[in-house]
Structure 1
Amino acid sequence: MCSLEKRGRIWILTLGGDDEHRLSPDVLDSIKSALDRIRSESSSGSALVTTSTGKFFSNGFDLAWARSGPSSAASFQQRLNLMVDKHRSIVASLVSLPMPTIAAITGHAAAGAFMLALAHDYIVMRRDRGFLYMSELDIGLPFVDYMMALIRAKSPSPAVLRDIVLRSRRFTAGEALDARIIQVAAADSGEAVAEAVRLAEDLAGRGWDGKVYASIRTAAFPELAGGLGLVIGIAKKTTSRL
Structure 2
Amino acid sequence: MNVSEHIGKPIKALNGLELHYVGDIAIIVMDCGENRLNLTFVKGFNELMDDIESNSSCKGLITTGKGKFYSNGLDLKWLATQTAEDVKEFIVALQKWLLRLLLFPLPTVAALNGHTFAGGALVAFAHDLRVQNREKGWLCFNEVWINRQFSHFHLLYLRTKLGRAYCDALVLGKRYTAREALNDGLVSATPSSALLLSESIHLLKSLYGNSGYPRESLHLMKADVYRDAVAEQQSEIQKAEITSVTENPFVSKL
TM-score exceeds 0.5: yes
Aligned partner of 2:81 in structure 1 is 68
Q: May I ask how many residue pairs the two structures share in their alignment? A: 219
Aligned position for 1:196: 200
Q: Secondary structure at the match of 2:190?
A: strand
Closer, same or farther in 2 for the Cα pair 1:172/1:78, shift >3 Å? farther
State the secondary structure of the residue aligned to 2:67: coil
CA distance in 1: counterparts of 2:141 and 2:85, whole angstroms: 21
Aligned-pair CA distance for 1:206: 4.2
**Cα separation, 1, equivalents of 2:169 and 2:163:** 11
Aligned AA (1:5):
H
What does residue range 211-222 of structure 1 map to in structure 2 within 5 Å? 211-222=216-227
**SS at 1:109 equivalent:** strand
Structure 2: give runs of 5+ residues left out of the alignment.
1-15, 236-254
Decide which of 100, 103, 110 is 1:103's aligned counterpart: 110
> What's 1:130 paired with?
137
Q: Aligned match of 1:184 in 186, 189, 212? A: 189
The answer (yes or no) to whether the contact 1:9–1:204 under 8 Å persists in 2 is no
SS in 1 for 2:130: strand
Runs of 4+ off more than 6 Å? none
| Deviation sequence 1:7-46 (CA, Å, 0-9, x none) | 22100011132x2111121111111111122122234x60
Q: Which 5+ residue runs of structure 1 have no aligned equivalent?
A: 70-74, 231-242
* Coordinate RMSD, CA, aligned: 1.9
Partner of 2:37, secondary structure, is coil
Write the deviation string for residues 67-103 of structure 1: whole angstroms up to 9, x where unpaired.
234xxxxx4x655444332221221211221111111
Match of 1:233 in 2: none
CA distance, structure 2, for counterparts of residue 80 and residue 141 of structure 1:
15
**Structure 2 residue aligned with 1:26:** 40
CA distance in 2, matches of 1:80, 1:142: 16
Output one character per residue of 1:102-132: Cα deviation in whole Å (capped at 9) or x when no partner. Answer: 1100000011110111011110000111011
Quote the residue 2:66 is aligned against: 53
Distance in 2 (CA, whole Å) between partners of 1:101 and 1:147 is: 18
Partner of 2:163: helix, strand, or coil? coil
